[in-house]
Every structure is written in structure tokens, then in C-alpha cells.
Structure 1
Amino acid sequence: MDLLDKVIKTCESRDLLEPGDAVVIGLSGGPDSVALLDLLFRMRQEWQLSLYVVHLNHMFRGAQAEEDFQFCRELAAKLGLPFFGYRIDVTEYSRSRGLNSQHGGRLLRYLLFSEVAKEVGGAKVAVAHHRNDVVETFFMRLLRGGGLKGLSSIPPKRGNVIRPLYDVTKPEVEAYCDQRGLEWRLDPSNNSEKYWRNRIRLRLLPFLEKFSADLVESTSRLVEIVRSENEFLEELTQAAWDQLVQREKDWQSRGKYVFAWDEFTAQPLALQRRLVQMAYLKMGVSDYQLSFAHVEQVLDLVKNQGGQQDLPKGVRVQVSKDRVGFFLSEPGKPTGSTPAKASALPRRQLTFGENSLPEWGLEITLKQCQNWPTPEELRDALAQQRDTWHRGGNWEIWLDAAKVALPLSCRQRLKGDRFRPLGMSGSKKLKDYLIDRKIPREKRDLIPLLCDQQGIVAVVGHQQAEDTKITDNTTIALRVTFRQTRQSPLEA
């Protein structure tokens, strides 16, 4: 079967594409993404596809990386396709978030893909993972002791991200490039055994193929089986969640999920573990599951019918003789941080685009931009907006995207909150800042705070933080606009 026909079959059978779709293509310049671009371009007319090309220069490899950037831009121009190119220091981006450069680069790429997809009107995002990538990921997660979800490896589709090469092997991609006479760029780091994924690909898989010549095919079949069984268990978990989770307003309004102890412990161990994971993910503080060790610590508390456990990203579990509860403590300070007063308004995680927060009387819009005012213009505009905001108008800030630890969220103040107001050299207690601003005590807990994973980004309507401001070195910006949709809680 011709590779084009095989990819079309994958798109149809796995419901990846429909005629008339807009598709953002992640193009690194390597053979996989070049083949993907060529295949989708060949499908473009019959499928009536609108194609857009995105490339990120991670600034890892100096002149070589810039040559990759120019190659991708010229290839897009040759095909007559819109090109979105970015140059961002991924090493610094990752360091500021406590991530390794591989993880940080992946997060940033998908952030850019998502933003371009929204900018062009809700496109799908096509990336060039193929069957060999699926097998590599399976063995990486197997060696780390992953559960069924992890062993499901890379899915053919997740949200708006699609993988048209999912049923294609690496040798098939390379043969296609040769047959089509496609040029592509070589990233030397792909052959470096510094990275664990590369060691899996270069050393482990060739060794295993000595015992199973069809290792890629047989492992791919196993992944399909594991994925379908994991999906079934996820359906069972959701059904158990819907039946068991407590929905009393006073608990839910404070960002809590609660189970009756006897009902929770009546579930099979596999469902208990999955309910713990589901509760954690539904708190909205992380896109990643808890480690096995954390889950077992929670279940030990449940078994002993008492105690509390702090989990990553400011989530706390409390267990009593009759309840198992999950709730949010202060991000970054999960031990001993409690709200300054009983929370009346929940913490809300924000996404790119429009976010409606009716409980706050707000609409918050996040947009990524490549053009922005000068730092001086921004300071002047911020000062002018304060009076406008308190007369019911809008408030807008600009952030340096490389300094923001996404996701952003909106919350009330917490005991011990500190931030560095714009223009200050040191941090200040939020309580002292609000006193200096002559905010009445009864209104201080009702002021929205825009936060990232490291702390306060802005005191909405008053001041943004120095740490995330635009500078002359900014390469990409986030524009955050706040619009009051009714009387603000601050003015109530």
C-alpha cells in the first residue's frame, strides 16, 4: 500500500481528519515532520484542508538551529503555506520552571501549537509521531513502572492533537522521503545517548529485536490492547466518581471533593487508586498524574482512618473515620497554608482564549502575542487603568511568556501571600500592600489574584508583579484582559 493511502486510511479509521479541516503542522525540519507536511499537502486539495506551519527554534544549537528555522520557513514558502516561526531560549524557559530542557521544550511547543490553532480559528494540530515513537514511549514507561494509562503510550488523538503517521513505521517514513526526493535536516542530538529516550531507541530496542524480529508490530498490538482496556477502566472510574463523590455546596464551593469513607473503601483497590488520581487531576493544579508512592500514601491514610497528606501542587488529603477529602492549600506552600478567611470563591484555572468566571463577575482573556507596547508605555497604561477599573471598566496587563509558569489561575488571597509589586526590588506581604492601598479589611479577601505556579502575577485592578513584566529582551508576550461582567465582588 502506498504510504499516502495508508495515512488516509489512518485518518479515516481513527477519526483524525474531516474534509474542510484547518490543520496546524508542527515542523522541526527532520524527516518525520517533513514527510507529514508533504503527505498532508498532497491530501490538501481532495480533503479541502487549510494548512499552517509552526516551527520553534529552541536556541539549543546556535547556527545549526537557525539554519533549521530558515529551512522550515523556506519549505513553507515553497508550498505557499502560512508560517509561524518562534525563537525562544528553551533552556532558560525550562530552568525558570524547574524542568529539564526536553520537558520544557515539549510544553512550550504544544503551547505554541495551541495558540496558533486558536489564532487561525480552531484548527487541529498534527504532529509527526509514528509507530516506532509509540514503541519507544511504551518501553520508557514500562521501565519506570507505569500503570495501564502510561503503558497506553502515545494516543493517535488527544483533544485537538492528531498523529496521522500513527500506523507508519520509521523505515517507511525514511523510504517515503527518499522516493519523493524530500530534503530534511538532521538534529545531531537525536543520536546522543545523553537522553534516556535515545538510549532506549539506540541500545535497548535493537537488543530486544534479536529476540523478536517483529518487535515494533507486536508491541504496537499490545499498546492497542492496553489502551482499550484502560479506556474501559476509565469509564468505570467515572461512573464510580459520579456515584460516590459528595456534592454538598459548602464543600464543593471551597474546591473540595469528598467521599464517604465506607463507600470509598468498598471499592476494589484498582478503583480506589484511580479515584485518588481523578480527584487530584480534577483539582486543576496539574496535567500529570500522581506517582504510585503518593497514591499509596493516600490509601494508607484511608486504611488507618485518620491523618492528612500533602500532595504536589498544593493539594491536601484529609481522612477521618467517616470521610476522605481532597482540597487546595496554597500553591507552593502545601504545609500549613490556609485561606485568610473561609473561602467564598473557588480557585479557577485559566486557558488561552476567553474564560468566564461568573462567580467573580469577570471574563478573563489570555492571548499570546508577538508584538506589544514598550515597557514605558505599559507602565503608564497600568497606572491610568486603575481608576477606570473601579468605575467598572477593563484592566489589562502584558506578561513575558518565558517568565510565566503556566497554567495561570484566579484565586483569593491566602495567609502568608507575598509578591513583588512592579518597580520594587524586593517582595512585600500582600496584606501590607492592601493596607497601604487603603483597601478595607472586609474587601481584601474578595480581590482577584492572577497567579501562576510560582506565585502572584497580579493583584487584579491594582498592580502586576515585577517578576513577569515585559522587558526589552522579551521574545513572546501574554496579553491578559479582565472585563467586569457584573458588579465585582470587590465592589459588592
Structure 2
Amino acid sequence: MQQKFENHIAKNFSFLIGKNLLLATSGGVDSMVMVNLFHKLSFEIAIAHCNFQLRGLESFADQNFVQNFAETNEIPLFLTQFDTKAFADDYKLSTQVAARELRYNWFYELLETKKYDYILTAHHADDNLETFLINLSRGTGLDGLTGIPAQNGKVIRPLLIFSRSEIEQYAMDTSIEWREDSSNASDKYLRNKIRHNLVPILKELNPDFLTSFCKTQAHLQESQEMVEDASIMVYQQVAKQEDDQIHFDLNQLKKLPNYKSYLYQWLNEYGFSAWDDIYDLVDGQSGKQVFSSEFRLLKNRDFLILSPENLEDEDEEYYIFKDQKEVNIPLNLSFSKVSDISLVSNTTIFVDEDKLWFPLVLRRWRQGDSFQPIGMEGKSKKVSKFFKDHKLSLIEKENVWILCSDNQIVWIVGLRQDERFKTGNRTKKILKIQLE
């Protein structure tokens, strides 16, 4: 496996040579083998370990294991701990989604602040198969069947060519120690159900199933590239950009034998999901429209017009002055000075008052707004992307208010505080803001 890995890196990831690499390491067999392989090839590596505190003492035992390994092998180590359950509850996320958001936010922060070039994860061929089956079971387009990408920006997955059994055999042959995650034995999660019950049957029917699957997925990826190329060429014939709108010429569109496939390819990235309604627009009455969370598709005579969905009363603003204790319109907000921080939630935040410029402004969100979600120091995010990630409906989005200080977002009220205004060790005045 070591020689196969070395050849794989030389052929497909030669750009990693000489770079500073951050290896996501849980302590499990996959990540410990990845560390071993890169360490043997004398790459400049560091280990990043997240303790999600989801398995009690076992989580801290994993942390200690990784820490001892890094110290013994003189590998730089970065550790962090998350209250994943509280984060998931606060922001109404599943535990898995919450852990992923916390993990990758921290990884990107390390890349920026510690000057590392890439983050590497230990996903392998069996992970790819499980992801394929999960997407297949939920109903997906071609994108969902092409698997986990070997590279996604700064995230590299160098073990995708190896099976779980290859990795485990290498670990035993080279006496690599690792930690077993007890949650992997549970069928609580869909991925584990597929891993324990479905994949063994497929491998029993065809002992080389994983190899065949990898070949099939390579063909799917090639097909996806062809689809994307064709989509771009046809798009240039059918679509025209006008300011912030895209106009699709229906006369040209309906000449295509598979126009529904092209519409899906073009509109999927805008968050649409009601595909039957969209296809009906082609022959529907002028004035009909379909919405995604951020965009509107309007039938206007011989065109479909794609545009951002504008909020009503976008320019409506309310001012909040220093020492004002409450606001009753358009929301019920209270402001109080406190000496310490109690429970932070979606409806209660604590800010450093000295960082605020008064009067504060309460307004609707606007296209182009961005902020720094708390926990993402130095990394901004578009409010529209935040809404998309949290799957807000059009009605929910229209009811969102933004609290601003000097044109900077302090709080997406009821959803997320901004990192820049949080309290810290040097905070002298703590202002508690609560949504009643």
C-alpha cells in the first residue's frame, strides 16, 4: 500500500510536495494510516484533532491518544473541543451537520491563521460507496452519484483509491495503533445502516464490487464533465444576462429535445427543488412563478426570467439609541447591562458595548449583506448563503431582521450573532440583547 500511495501522490497530488499540510486526525484507523503514510514520505505535516464531546470519556480518551502520538512522533498538534450538542440545539441542526460545520470552520481558520496550505481528510473508497448509496436512496441527480471529490478547494482526500480493508490490513501489517469509535457499531445513523447491512450483501454478490463501483463512478464523472460542457454551449444560445437577471429564450429552449435536463443543470445551483412546477412554466401562463429560497423564476411571455427574490420594505429602518432599554417595533427587543454572561441562545446574545457605534440600526437583510458568524473569526459569509445553509423558506427569510452597528452586522436576530462584537477577556461593558 505504501508504494501505491507514493505513486498516487506523485501522479495526482504532486502539488502537495513542499507544502505545509494539516491532517484531520480522529484517532481512527483511517486517519492514523494517513498520518503514517505522509510521515514516512517526510512531508511537512501537522495534526488537527476535534473533540466533539459526544461520547463522554471516550471522546477525551481519543484526544489523549492523538496528543500522545503527536508528542511521541514530534508532529505539531492542534486540538479543540466543541459543545456539539449545544451548538446543534441552538441552531436547530442535526448532530452530524453541526459537527461538520464546526469542524470545517475550525480547519479553515487554522489554514488561514497558522499558514497551512491544505487540509487533508482520510475518506476512502468505502466512504465513497456509502455516500453514493445515501444519495441514491434520497433521490439525486448526476451530481449526487459522482461521489466525494478528491479535491474540493483546499480540502484534499488522498485515500479515496483505497478500500477500508486495505487500510486496516496496512495498519495491522505495520503495527499502527488506533482508536475504535463505539458509535460506528450503532445503526442509529443511515450511513451505519448501509455500512453494516447493505454493503456486505453487495460485496457477497460480487467480491470485486468495490472495484467495479470505482470504475462505474469514474464513468459517471466523465459523463458529468460532458454534461457540463454541453450545458455551457447550449446556455450561450438560450440565456442572456441582463443586470441581475437571466432571461431564457423559450423559443430556443423548446427546440432542444431534452430541455428539461438543461433547465435542471442551469437552475440547480440556485436552490430550486420544485422541478415539475418549473417544467410546467415553459408552457404555463405569463406571470406564473416558482421560488427557491433566494431566487424567483418568472414566466414572462416568451421568456423565463431568473432574478433574486427581493424583500418587501427593504429600506425600512429603526434606530436604537445608547442606553435605550427596549424596542417594541418591529420586534420586541430588550437591552440591559450585565456583569457576566449567562446562557447564550438564538434569542439572547451578549456583546462588547465598547465595540458598538450608536445609534444601532434594525433593518431587513439585503442582497450582498455579509457577516462573520460567531465561531468563524476572520472569515466572512454572505447572509444569503447562511440562509441557504439553514434552509430558510421564503416566508421565514422575509421575516428576518438585522441589527447593525455602523453598517456592520451585530446579529441576524434570532439566528446568529456576529463574531466581531462578541465579548472577550478585555471586555469592560457587557450588553445583553434579548428577543422577547
Shorter chain as denominator, the TM-score bin is 0.7 to 0.9
8 Å contact kept, 1:264–1:272: no
Structure 1: any 5+ residue segments left out of the alignment?
284-288, 331-336, 342-374, 387-396, 412-450, 476-492
Counterpart CA distance in 1 for 2:300 and 2:355 is 51
Counterpart CA distance in 2 for 1:77 and 1:296 is 57
C-alpha distance 216-54 of structure 1, shift in aligned 2 (>3 A): same
CA shift for structure 1 position 406: 8.5
Please give the per-residue CA displacement for 1:347-397, whole angstroms capped at 9, x wherever unaligned: xxxxxxxxxxxxxxxxxxxxxxxxxxxx999311324899xxxxxxxxxx9
Counterpart CA distance in 2 for 1:55 and 1:457 is 35
C-alpha distance 210-66 of structure 1, shift in aligned 2 (>3 A): same
SS in structure 2 at match of 1:304: coil
Please give the per-residue CA displacement for 1:143-193, whole angstroms capped at 9, x wherever unaligned: 222222111111222222211111111111111111222211111111111
8 Å contact kept, 1:156–1:164: yes
SS in structure 1 at match of 2:291: strand
Counterpart CA distance in 2 for 1:173 and 1:185 is 14
- Which residue of the partner structure matches residue 464 of structure 1? 410
8 Å contact kept, 2:248–2:303: yes
- Which residue of the partner structure matches residue 350 of structure 1? none
Please give the per-residue CA displacement for 1:278-325, whole angstroms capped at 9, x wherever unaligned: 4452x5xxxxx654xx223211212325311122x2322111222212
- Which residue of the partner structure matches residue 298 of structure 1? 278
Map 1:11-160 to 2 at 5 A.
11-15=9-13, 17-44=15-42, 49-121=43-115, 123-160=117-154
SS in structure 2 at match of 1:303: coil
Tell me which amino acid in the other structure corresponds to 1:28. Answer: S
Give aligned-pair identity as a percent: 25
Counterpart CA distance in 2 for 1:127 and 1:319 is 45
SS in structure 2 at match of 1:458: strand
- Which residue of the partner structure matches residue 265 of structure 1? 254
Counterpart CA distance in 2 for 1:135 and 1:468 is 38
- Which residue of the partner structure matches residue 422 of structure 1? none
- Which residue of the partner structure matches residue 409 of structure 1? 383
- The TM-score, its normalising length taken from structure 1, stands at 0.66
C-alpha distance 110-268 of structure 1, shift in aligned 2 (>3 A): farther
8 Å contact kept, 2:22–2:116: no
8 Å contact kept, 1:22–1:122: yes
Structure 2: any 5+ residue segments left out of the alignment?
316-348, 361-370, 386-396, 425-436
Tell me which amino acid in the other structure corresponds to 1:219. Answer: F
Map 1:320-335 to 2 at 5 A.
320-329=300-309
- Which residue of the partner structure matches residue 479 of structure 1? none
8 Å contact kept, 1:16–1:163: no
SS in structure 2 at match of 1:164: coil
C-alpha distance 406-60 of structure 1, shift in aligned 2 (>3 A): farther
- Which residue of the partner structure matches residue 367 of structure 1? none
- Which residue of the partner structure matches residue 359 of structure 1? none
- Which residue of the partner structure matches residue 316 of structure 1? 296
- Which residue of the partner structure matches residue 340 of structure 1? 314
SS in structure 2 at match of 1:166: coil
Return the match for 1:6 from 4, 10, 18. 4
Counterpart CA distance in 2 for 1:12 and 1:454 is 50
Please give the per-residue CA displacement for 1:442-474, whole angstroms capped at 9, x wherever unaligned: xxxxxxxxx9x9753635437723751679x98
Counterpart CA distance in 2 for 1:233 and 1:178 is 43
8 Å contact kept, 2:351–2:423: no
C-alpha distance 265-117 of structure 1, shift in aligned 2 (>3 A): farther
8 Å contact kept, 2:82–2:102: no
8 Å contact kept, 1:399–1:470: yes
- Which residue of the partner structure matches residue 318 of structure 2? none
Please give the per-residue CA displacement for 1:69-109, whole angstroms capped at 9, x wherever unaligned: 22222222223222222211222323334331112222332
- The TM-score, its normalising length taken from structure 2, stands at 0.74
SS in structure 2 at match of 1:246: strand
* Residues 137-146 or 12-21, more deviating: 12-21
Tell me which amino acid in the other structure corresponds to 1:29. Answer: G
SS in structure 1 at match of 2:282: helix
SS in structure 2 at match of 1:81: coil
RMSD between aligned alpha carbons?
A: 3.4
Counterpart CA distance in 2 for 1:474 and 1:89 is 18
